Every structure is written in C-alpha cells, then in structure tokens.
C-alpha cells in the first residue's frame, strides 16, 4: 500500500478503494477501472462469544502455560536407541490390539485404506487366511482398535501397528519419554496406503525376519543416534522431513551402514538391508514422526495451554489435541488434499487426508518448514516463492521459533513451532500440511502426493474445549 | 533510484548526487548530508585498445564459437567408471612424473604447501627416506613436475599425484574423454595441504592397500555412477560441491555401500571403508572436480571461443585457459583468500590461493552456485542474501545457464556457466571462488577456509591472448 500512495497528493487524486475481507467485493470497481487495494485480512473463525471471553480473560495465564510448554518442547532431545517388536514394548498392546492413525474410530466408520491396512495386518498376524475372513473378524467386535497416539506411537497414512511388527524405539533424553514407530515399507503397494496383497505381506515378513534383526544389531553396535541433530541437518539439505526425507534418510544410512557391515552375519545380508534403505527416500519418515511426537509429548498436560500437541487424521476425521486439555480429541471431517496424482488417477479416487504424519507440522516441520524444501511445493505446481509464503504464514499462528531447526532460505531463521489454537481462530489461518494421498478403496495404495490446509472445525472445537476447561465446565 | 524520485517534484528539490565509479567520491557529500546515489558500475579492466578492437570486431564469430562450446559442455555426462593407479592410466605418467595443481611451475618457485606435498609424495613412493633427502631429489632436476591439467587430471590444494597413487577414472560418456583424480584424504594433516608426517603417509598407504581395492570391487559390482545427476541432486541439498560436499558424499556413500558390503572380503573391511568415507564430508570433492574438468574439456580447442575452460592455482600463480587458445596458460599472482582461520592461525599464516578445485567455479558450481549453499557464506560471516548476490553477479560474466544444475533459492534457475573472458574484462567482475586455506610453510596443513575473487591479471592476459590469436599474431 505504501508504494501505491507514493507520489499522490492527499486530496484531488482519483478514487481508490481499500477493501478488508471478501475480495469479490472488488470485482465491480476493478472492472470499472477503479484503483483498488485488497488487505489480507479474514474474519476470525466463528466461536461461542462467551467462551471467547473466557479465553481473552485468561490470556496471560494461557501465555504463561504456553511458554512452559514451548520451553519443554525446545529442550526435548529424541534419540533412536533401539528396535523391538510392538508386542514387547508398546504400552497396552495385546494380541487383539490393532493401532491406527488419527483420532479413535470404529470399524464401521473407517475409510477404505484404513480397512485395507487392518485386513493386511490380520493376514500378516495369521489371524485370518483370506481378506474376507479378516473383514469378518474386524467387524466382529473381538478386536481393539485404538489410536497410535494413545499407545505412545505414531504411524504414517493408515498407521496400522499390530503385535508382531518390529518398531523403532525413540527415547526423549531430557524428560525421559519413549515413542514407537514401525519401519517404513517404501513406495508402491504398501500396507500404510491400504494395500494387502501377497507382495505387501512378503515385504512385511522380510522386514521382520531380515531388516529388523540387522538394524537392531547395527544400532546396538553404533549406539544411539541423535535424531534432533539429524533433522536439523536435513533441513539444511532440502528436506522438510515429511514429504521429503532424502537427506535425512541419507544421513541415517551413513550413520548405520558401517555398523551394519560390521555386525551382519554375512555381507549379502548387509547389502540386502542397505539396498532396501537406499531404495526408499522415505525410510526416515517414521523416525521423523516419532521424533516430533517425542518432542511434543513433553509439552502435554500443561493446564491452560492452548498449544497444539497433536494433529492426526484417520482418513475420516481430523483430530487435534491441546497441551491444556489432556487426552481429549477435537475432531472434524478430514478433507481431500490438493494433489498431483499418479497417471491414471484423479481427485475422485482420493481418500480424505489420513495419517499421523501431520505430527511433523505440529512440531513446526513438514508444511510449516516447506521454505526449506521448495522442491515439495514445486512438485504440486507451486514456486519457491510460494513455499516461502506458506512458511511465513505459519509464523502467524505459532508461539515460538525453533532453537534448533532452521530454514536456510529465511536467513537460517528458526522454524515456526508451537501452534497456538487462539491464533488459528483469531487470524483464521489454518495449519498447512504436506501429505501423501491414498486411494479411497482398500487394497490399491498411493495415488498421489499433495498439500492442504487443516479443516477449521477441530480448531474451533479445541478452542471452545480449552475455554470450557478454563471455566471449569468441560463441555460434553 | 525510482523509489527515491517518487513524490519529489522535478525542480525545487534538495540537491541529490548520482555517482558512477569510485564510491569514495561520495564520502564528502555524504558527510555534508547531501542525498547521494551510488550506481554499481566499474570501469572495464585495462586492456590494449588495439586488441580490444580485434575482440569487438570478431564479436559475432566469438559468440558463435562460445555457443558451440557451451552446447558441448551442457551435453557432457561424466560417470565414475572405475579406479586404477596413476601409473597404469594417467597419460604421460612416468616413475619420475609428479603432477601438481595449477599452471606449470618449477621447484624453485613452488610455495611451501606444494613443496611439502612433493616431499610427502617422494617419501610415499620410497624415493627418499627423509624429508631432507626428498628435498635434495626434488631440487636435482631429475624429476618432472607438470600440471595435473596437462595429464587429464585434477587435484585439490597442492594436487600432487605420484605414480603409485590410486585414482578415480571418470569417463565423459557423450564425447568420450577421461579424467583422473586421487581419492580425498579427509581433513587435518593431509598431503594436499602440504603435510608429510608419518600419519599422512600411513593414511596414504591404507588408502592404497584397503580403500582402493574395496572401492574398485564395489564399483565393478555396482556399475558406473552418473556424477552429473548426483551433483544436480546435491545442489538441491545445500551443496555447491566445492567447499560443501556433505550431500554429494552422502549420495555417493549410498550408491557404493550396498556393493561394498557385498564385495568386501570381510565385514570388518567394508565397515572400515564405510567409516572412512562417512568420516569425511569432502570425500566427493575430488569427483566433483573430475566431473567439472570432464565437462569443460569437451569445450576445449574451439577456435575463437572466449569461454574459460580452466582456472587453477599452484599457490604461486593463478592460471586461466580458454577454449579458443589451446593449452596456453595465462597467469598472474595468486592472492590470499578472505578466510575464517582455525584457532591459533591468522592471515599471516595463509598461503596464497592454491589448487585445481576452482575447476568447479569454471563449471558454474562452487562460488558461482553459492546461493545453493548459504551455509558456506555464513561460515565466513556472510548472510544467505550475500550468497544470492554473489551468484547473481556471476550470471553477469557467464554465457549460459546450466540445463542440469539448478539453484533452488533462485526458483530453480540454471547455475551460471561458461565464463566469458570478454564479460570479465568489460564489466570488471572477477570470478568468485570458494576455497580452503593452507599454511604457507610446508608440513603443517590446513589453517582455514574462505572465499575470494580471482585476480584480474590472468583474465586481462587471456583476453589479449585471444585477440592476438584472432589477429593471427599470437603474443609471445
């Protein structure tokens, strides 16, 4: 605006219009040749005015709680310390427990790819010998479906974790928490995108019989790997550690390969394992997610805090958890991402957004740090300038800048971290998320990758939920 | 300037000064409070006016020759195809041949670190058993010292290659040339920085006895590695492949590790080799240099071309070769870089600029692509904005933009490639180079890393040399 005004005397100039809000108001004047200026402002998200008054009245207390939450998150140091099986280490895991991504959901409401992944896990566990019998068992009420997040775990896409699956053990060294995640299967037909054919099960079995013991031995020999440091380096190397993990996977590969070669029973097994990791640039994703959860979990259960500690989707609902509202999920319908689809697929094939991987955005990475990874936004038709804009916008809704994760293209500024649900509501700016896209039918797999903004509904619900908590009258 | 004029009537305003050339002319008016504008313009480098007339008269022919040179350079595809020893494969190599970086130089004029590296090579080859006897032999006239560049090779810093040393074999697949380079020794006390103590010789022997056969076997098993593609990816991952090679080394490591594990006689040897490469983020540098020379060599011997095909320093002289003037070196004194010095060292310890590694800048990488690697300029106290400015300035003196190497921070614009010596002279903009800094005494090693602009003298000489060639009267 200041440039437009330069050179014009205050009076006696041509008519100019300045517009706040809906840009379409300017269509008429613009068509008529009038100079117009659109101001980037949106009305806040609509919330209960009584609850908004509570939030405003408690402003300083909330700020204080948020500061404590961010201090903890910023002090957290996730390390990869080992591998085990879900059965042995995941809290609350039973032979009938099947964990999934996102907020809680019953079988009847599960989307196609999540159903597909559950079927695949039942076949993998030997609980059924055909997909049809697996579906009958899944619908029988005999199994317990539960969110990964409620069992100290995270999973990408469908995020299914069953008792026999090997898991990474990520320990947060400052406060002492532990988070679990499966090993990434690679691309193509894979369980996490809802595929459950023979090649999916064969790969899962190889991962359990060969990859898992080899990596476990290597890690025992190499000692813990500092994942926070590794992610910080990867951000300097073009990753945002959600949709792009090429650098992080390379650095992890370098850290593991010498110990793998040293401890494998024979060279051919070390080579097989190294080929598998080298063939999958997303191998680091599950560790990125576990690291982010491990960091964010340090901020949980801080009374009064409006900081988001989890965003997760089950393919039907998008769920949000706040530091100030315990284990309560605030949900709304998940939406279909803007995506680049693989040949032969269209938006009509796409399942709504799915997976725990938005834990990276919750921790200021992924879409929040897309300026560090312009190749991502270019992939869906944007420019590096768009990537900068997306990241700059995320500073508008976050409470802090990371003390360890930096964005080179912004002069090594710390990444935007600590989503404050008050800022989301007041500014009507929704978290920006990078994502993969699954086919809506079970058994097919990935059909694209893209970006989207989170839906508004869970944030409005979380805002009102926090206000109710603060007012001492939690809403039903 | 346009912004400054906005809002001011044409007459009746305060005095403003516009200055071209020496900025110090503005010091007085500035001190007096007068508004001043400095225009970024410098007088051309001073050249013989008769020869400048020749260059101008032949402008279209030179443009045409340059286009052909750039077409070849852009079509070149360097691949790592194998390893061997210098004795077996480097053209013209004899038992008395000791190659060095930069333009030709006799023992008496060699700088400290180059002398140190020659002494080390003589000890390594078993030609002497003490540094003193090695120095006597080096000064005896019995040995042949010659530039790497004149034997299809390149070497970083002192760049010494002796007959027994293992070398990478880089084949340019489009036109069929081959370039050789030693394996990078790592940091600290190393031969290329002029150190020649027992730990230097022990490491060189381990490299010949263990690293070399292991890598050779791995590469035979894996097949050729496309280095152009690898460099293009590394530019997307924060490397400029001169002073920063972390991503390229990681990608090379990933490409080699499975085959290494598969072909090593035992796991512990594979592990030792992987530990060595993993411990040296500059391992890729020598391959980056060989790739750049392989690409640029395709443009050599194009009559009339003003494109620079080599910039190289021997620590005493800075040498330039043009596509249009055959093997002729144009030289001037090498300068001391602006550097960040290691603790305990200062500029007084620094040797003038040394090494063939400026072949990366000649090929549009290194300092020319520093915008892809802002961590480099930050290292010596600059900002990412400075890095952008340096790269943008290099487009001013280059004839083309790369069709394969891209700079993410500039919207994935092709890197500036093909230095046109006419533009260097006319615009008085000198190539910007990233570099390591060696101690000026032999036997000590690296004391820092930094950046500098090439000296003017070799470019003036090359410009005049090309004009003489074109006029049919080559200058003596």
Q: What is the ipTM of this complex?
A: 0.89
Best mutation target, A230, A266, A270, to test chain B (most B CBs within 10 A) = A270
Confidence of residue A474 (pLDDT cuts 50, 70, 90): low
B135 touches chain A (CB under 8 A): no
For A337, the 3-state DSSP assignment is coil
Q: What backbone phi and psi angles, to 5 degrees, belong to A153?
A: -140, 165
CA-based nearest residue in chain B for residue A410: B384
Q: Which tokens in the block code for residue A329?
A: 């999920």
Within 13 Å, how many C-alpha atoms sit on residue A107's CB side? 16
What's chain A's Rg over C-alpha atoms?
23
Measuring CA to CA, which residue among B279, B281, B292, B275 is closest to residue B356?
A: B292
A383 touches chain B (CB under 8 A): yes
Interface probe for A, chosen from B239, B241, B257 (most Cβ of A below 10 Å), is B257
**C-beta atoms of A270 and B268 within 8 A:** no
The stretches in chain B having pLDDT less than 70 are 1-40, 473-476
In this complex, the residue of B236, B262, B266 whose CB is nearest that of residue A238 is: B236
pLDDT score, position A376: 86
- For A10, residues 6+ apart whose C-beta sits below 8 A from its C-beta are none
The mean of the pLDDT values for chain A is 92
Contact B278 A385 (CB under 8 A): no
Domain coordinates in residue numbering, chain A: 2-39, 49-73+300-470, 76-290
Q: What percent of chain A has pLDDT above 90?
A: 85
Q: Does B260 touch chain A (CB under 8 A)?
A: yes
User: E strands of A30-188, at which residues?
Assistant: 35-39, 78-85, 97-100, 144-147, 166-172, 178-182
| C-alpha distances out from residue B151 to A60, A187, B147, B360, Å | 72, 46, 7, 18
* CATH superfamily to which A76-290 belongs: Enterococcus faecalis V583 domain (3.90.1710.10)
The verdict on a CB contact (< 8 Å) between A251 and B250 is yes
- Please tell me the predicted confidence (pLDDT) of residue B13: 53
CATH 3.40.50.300 fits B77-290, yes or no: no
Q: How far is A218 from chain B (nearest CA, A)?
A: 11
| B85 interface with A at CB cutoff 8 Å | no
Position A188 scores a pLDDT of 83
- Hey, what CATH topology would domain A49-73+300-470 get? v583 fold (3.90.1700)
CB–CB of A114/A334 below 8 Å? Answer: no
B245, B262, B370: best to mutate for the A interface, most A CBs within 10 A:
B262
Query: Which secondary structure element, helix H or strand E, spans residue B331, and what is its range?
Result: strand B330-333
Work out whether strand A354-355 and strand A308-314 pair parallel, antiparallel, or are unpaired. Answer: antiparallel
Question: Apex CA B28: angle with CA B27 and CA B34, to 5°?
Answer: 95
pLDDT score of A184: 98
Hey, is the C-beta of A264 within 8 angstroms of any chain B C-beta? yes
Q: Which residue has the tokens 């991504």?
A: A101
What's residue B309's pLDDT? 98
Is the separation of the CB atoms in B164 and B94 below 8 Å?
A: no
**One-character DSSP codes across B352-406:** PPEEGGGHHHHTT-GGGGGGG-HHHHHHTT--HHHHHHHHHHHGGGEEEEEEEEE
Q: What is the mean pLDDT of residues A259-284?
A: 97
Q: How many Å apart are CA B360 and CA B293, to the nearest integer?
A: 8
Task: Assess A274–B contact: CB distance below 8 Å, yes or no.
Answer: yes
Using an 8 Å CB-CB cutoff, list chain B residues near A270: 261-262, 267, 270
- The C-alpha atoms of residue B233 and residue A435 are separated, in whole angstroms, by 22
Nearest chain A residue to B272 by CA: give it. A258
**pLDDT higher than threshold 90 for residue A413:** yes
Report residue A135 CA to chain centroid gap. Answer: 28
Q: B224: how many CB neighbours lie within 10 A of its CB?
A: 15
Other Cβ atoms closer than 10 A to B427: 16
* Chain B residues touching residue A275 (CB < 8 angstroms): 258
Chain B residues near residue A408 by CB distance under 8 angstroms: 238, 374-375, 384, 409
Task: Tell me how far apart the alpha carbons of residues A166 and A154 are, in angstroms, rounded to a whole number.
Answer: 13
Put simply, whether A280 touches B (Cβ < 8 Å) is no
Are A278 and B259 a contacting pair at CB < 8 A?
A: no
**Strand runs (DSSP E) across A301-367, as ranges?**
308-314, 317-322, 330-333, 338-341, 354-355
Instruction: State the fold for domain B49-73+299-470.
Output: v583 fold (3.90.1700)
* Chain B nearest CA to A8, separation (Å): 7
What pLDDT score does A5 carry? 39
Cβ contacts (< 8 Å) between B261 and chain A: which residues?
Answer: 257, 260-261, 264, 267, 270-271, 274
Looking at residue A221, its pLDDT comes to 96
What confidence tens digit (pLDDT) does each residue in A318-374 have? 999 999 999 999 999 999 998 899 999 999 999 999 999 999 999 999 999 999 998
Q: Can you tell me whether residue B322 is helix, strand or coil? A: strand
Number of A/B CB contacts below 8 angstroms equals: 118
Return d(Cα A167, Cα A160) in angstroms, integer.
12
Q: Does A107 touch chain B (CB under 8 A)?
A: no
Task: Identify the helix (H) or strand (E) that includes residue A251.
Answer: helix A246-263
pLDDT at B236: 97
Chain A residue with Cα closest to B279? A254
| Range A228-241 average pLDDT | 98
Do A409 and B412 make contact, defined as CB atoms within 8 angstroms? no
Label the pairing between strands B446-453 and A338-341: unpaired
Mean pLDDT of A242-270: 97
Of A88, A98, A145, A151, which is closest to residue A123 (Cα–Cα)? A98
For residue A382, what pLDDT is reported? Answer: 86
Tell me how crowded residue B21 is: count the other CB atoms within 10 A of its CB.
Answer: 11
Q: List the single residue in B with minimal CA-CA distance to A272.
A: B258
Angle formed by the axes of helices A49-57 and A457-470, nearest 10° = 60
- Give the number of residues written for chain B: 476
For A46-50, A158-162, B434-438, which range has the lowest pLDDT when averaged over its residues?
B434-438
Contact B321, B328 (CB under 8 A): yes
pLDDT given for residue A210 in this prediction: 98
What pLDDT score was predicted for residue A158? 97
Per-residue pLDDT, averaged over A239-268, amounts to 97
Interface test with B, best of A258, A371, A385, A411 (most B CBs within 10 A): A258
B375: chain A residues, CB-CB within 8 Å: 236, 408
CA distances from A313 to A350, A354, A441, B297 (A): 14, 5, 17, 55
A232 vs B: CB within 8 A:
no
pLDDT at A10: 47
**β pairing state of A330-333 and A166-172:** unpaired
Q: Does B383 touch chain A (CB under 8 A)?
A: yes
Q: Cβ separation of B257 and A257 shorter than 8 Å? A: yes
Nearest-angstrom CA–CA distance, B252 and B156: 19
Say how far apart CA B326 and CA B68 lie, in whole Å.
16
Task: Tell me the pairing of strands B144-147 and B97-100.
Answer: parallel
pLDDT at residue number B429: 98
Give the per-residue pLDDT at B6. Answer: 39
Supply the pLDDT for residue A39. Answer: 60
Q: Region A375-384: what's the mean pLDDT? A: 83
The partner residue sitting opposite B257, judged by closest CB among A238, A274, A384, is A274
Query: Is the CB of residue B262 less than 8 Å away from at least one CB of chain A?
Result: yes
Q: Name residues whose C-beta falls within 8 Å of residue A14's C-beta, 6 or more positions apart in sequence.
A: A34, A35
Integer Cα distance of B329 and B197 in angstroms: 33
Residue holding tokens 């891209």?
A: B406
How far A7 CA lies from chain B's nearest CA (Å)?
4
Q: Using an 8 Å Cβ cutoff, are B433 and B453 in contact?
A: yes
pTM: 0.91
Please give, rounded to a whole number of angstroms, the shortest distance from the CA of B268 to a CA of chain A.
Answer: 5
Is A182 a residue whose pLDDT tops 80? yes
- Chain Cα centroid distance, residue A230: 18
CA A192 – CA A121 distance, rounded (Å): 10
Q: Summarize the confidence of residues A388-416 as an average pLDDT.
A: 97
List, as one string, the DSSP characters of B232-271.
HHHHTTT--SSS--HHHHHHHHHHHHHHHHHHSSSHHHHH
In this complex, do B254 and A250 lie within 8 Å of one another by their Cβ atoms?
A: yes
Q: Distance between terminal CA atoms of chain A?
A: 47
């Amino acid at each position: 605006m200041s440039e437009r005004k330069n050179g014009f005397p205050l009076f006696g100039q041509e008519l100019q219009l300045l517009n706040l809000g809906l840009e379409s108001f300017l269509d008429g004047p613009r068509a008529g040749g009038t100079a117009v200026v659109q101001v980037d402002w949106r009305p806040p998200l609509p919330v209960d005015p009584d609850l908004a008054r509570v939030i405003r009245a408690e402003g300083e207390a909330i700020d204080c709680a948020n500061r404590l939450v961010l201090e903890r998150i910023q002090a957290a140091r996730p390390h990869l310390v080992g591998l085990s099986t879900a059965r042995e280490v995941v809290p609350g895991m039973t032979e009938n427990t099947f964990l999934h991504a996102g907020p809680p959901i019953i079988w009847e409401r599960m989307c196609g790819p999540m159903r597909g992944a559950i079927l695949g896990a039942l076949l993998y566990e030997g609980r059924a010998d055909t997909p049809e019998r697996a579906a009958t068992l899944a619908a029988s009420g005999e199994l317990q479906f539960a969110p990964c997040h409620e069992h100290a775990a995270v999973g990408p896409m469908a995020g299914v974790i069953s008792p026999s699956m090997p898991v990474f053990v990520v320990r947060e060294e400052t406060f002492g928490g532990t988070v679990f995640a499966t090993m990434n299967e690679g691309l193509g037909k894979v369980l996490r995108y809802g595929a459950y054919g023979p090649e999916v099960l064969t790969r899962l079995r190889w991962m359990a019989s060969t990859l898992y013991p080899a990596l476990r031995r290597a890690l025992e020999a190499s000692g813990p790997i500092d994942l926070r440091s590794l992610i910080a380096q990867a951000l300097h190397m073009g990753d945002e550690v959600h949709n792009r993990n090429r650098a992080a996977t390379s650095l992890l590969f370098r850290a593991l390969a010498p110990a793998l070669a040293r401890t494998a029973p024979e060279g051919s097994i070390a080579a097989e394992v190294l080929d598998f990791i080298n063939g999958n640039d997303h191998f680091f994703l599950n560790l990125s997610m576990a690291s982010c959860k491990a960091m964010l979990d340090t901020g949980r259960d801080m009374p009064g805090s409006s900081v988001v500690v989890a965003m997760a989707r089950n393919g039907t609902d998008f769920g949000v958890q706040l530091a100030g509202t315990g284990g309560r999920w605030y949900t709304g319908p998940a939406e279909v991402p803007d995506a680049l689809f693989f040949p032969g697929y269209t938006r009509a094939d796409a399942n709504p957004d799915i997976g725990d991987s938005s834990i990276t955005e919750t921790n200021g990475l992924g879409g929040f740090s897309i300026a560090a990874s312009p190749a991502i936004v270019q992939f869906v038709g944007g420019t590096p300038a768009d990537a900068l804009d997306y990241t700059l916008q995320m500073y508008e809704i976050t409470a802090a800048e990371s003390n360890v994760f930096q964005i080179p293209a912004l002069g090594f500024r710390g990444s935007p971290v600590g989503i404050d649900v008050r800022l989301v509501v007041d500014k009507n700016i929704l978290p920006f998320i990078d994502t993969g896209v699954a086919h809506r039918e079970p058994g097919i797999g990935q059909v694209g990758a893209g970006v989207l903004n989170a839906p508004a509904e869970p944030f409005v619900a979380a805002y009102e939920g926090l206000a109710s908590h603060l007012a001492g009258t939690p809403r039903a």
